[in-house]
Structure 1
């Protein structure tokens, strides 16, 4: 079990579910490259930012693939902390979101992401209640 605060519950491996992700404050690092090309280059500025501002790590880490964007959730203990954008990190507020979520296990690779995305798109194509309103994102847990 992780000692980090979780922004929301993870989806069990092998499960596809509709879930609501609560409104949150996010720290954002972005690249012109794909997420899988820029991963460490995205993580480092965020890590330096949370260290400089004495903010605890949280889980999960969220990633948009094209262009590569990494999101750190700001924990509830820091909700009122005044945070400022830097040249490398932007602070955003996101509203509650309803998402289609698939729990998978494996390395953080384009191949694994593409396989999971294909399963989600198949699920969506086989029902008529939900539609995609944006590209798939990766949600990474540290375990």
Structure 2
């Protein structure tokens, strides 16, 4: 995926930690019992067929739950709700605005790189107790498979909430 695609939200800079609000969004998803990194190609194909058959533009990023593996495609706001129907392999989700801790990373989309970045983000959150994790880490992948690993960008997001005094 290149920058020519519509972006669902702004990227976190490489090496930076930040708290950011993600806008409300519509997503389609495909799920497997395996981990994301074991089955991401199988997850991608049904989602790509879904948007292609409905003439829906690809957006970035691709979002992923890791275990069990779930791949999400963001759907642009201009797409009619009438086009979005669940199928045997693809579900439709409406997400409210949400707050996440984010770490921007450069490198290949591997389980090792994800786990390393996730550990760094979790450690950063522990040093910033004004925010509390409310869920598990997700991968946010910005580039397509034909981009060399050393150019790829991804983020790790952990959903958070502000801790009240």
Is TM > 0.5 for Structure 1 vs Structure 2? yes
1:110 matches 2:111: yes
Mapping 1:1-143, distance limit 5 Å = 2-142=3-143, 143=152
Count, aligned residues: 143
Structure 2, unmatched stretches of 5+, are: 144-151, 153-165
Q: Secondary structure of the residue that 1:131 maps to in structure 2?
A: strand
By how many angstroms is 1:125 displaced?
1.1
Give the Cα–Cα distance (whole angstroms) in 2 for the partners of residues 79 and 105 of structure 1.
Answer: 34
Q: Contact between 1:50 and 1:57, CA under 8 Å: does it hold in 2? A: yes
Give the Cα–Cα distance (whole angstroms) in 1 for the partners of residues 58 and 99 of structure 2.
Answer: 24
Give the Cα–Cα distance (whole angstroms) in 1 for the partners of residues 137 and 20 of structure 2.
Answer: 14
Q: Contact between 1:62 and 1:72, CA under 8 Å: does it hold in 2? A: yes
Q: Contact between 1:25 and 1:79, CA under 8 Å: does it hold in 2? A: no
By how many angstroms is 1:79 displaced?
4.6
Give the Cα–Cα distance (whole angstroms) in 1 for the partners of residues 104 and 82 of structure 2.
Answer: 32
By how many angstroms is 1:71 displaced?
0.3
Structure 1, unmatched stretches of 5+, are: none
- Identify which range, 122-131 or 42-51, moves more after superposition: 122-131
By how many angstroms is 1:59 displaced?
0.3
* CA distances 1:98-134 after superposition (whole Å, capped 9, x unpaired): 0000000111100000000000110111121011110
RMSD: 1.1
Give the Cα–Cα distance (whole angstroms) in 2 for the partners of residues 68 and 129 of structure 1.
Answer: 30
* CA distances 1:37-75 after superposition (whole Å, capped 9, x unpaired): 010000000000001111000000000001000000001
Give the Cα–Cα distance (whole angstroms) in 2 for the partners of residues 45 and 23 of structure 1.
Answer: 24
Give the Cα–Cα distance (whole angstroms) in 1 for the partners of residues 43 and 54 of structure 2.
Answer: 17
Q: Secondary structure of the residue that 1:103 maps to in structure 2?
A: strand
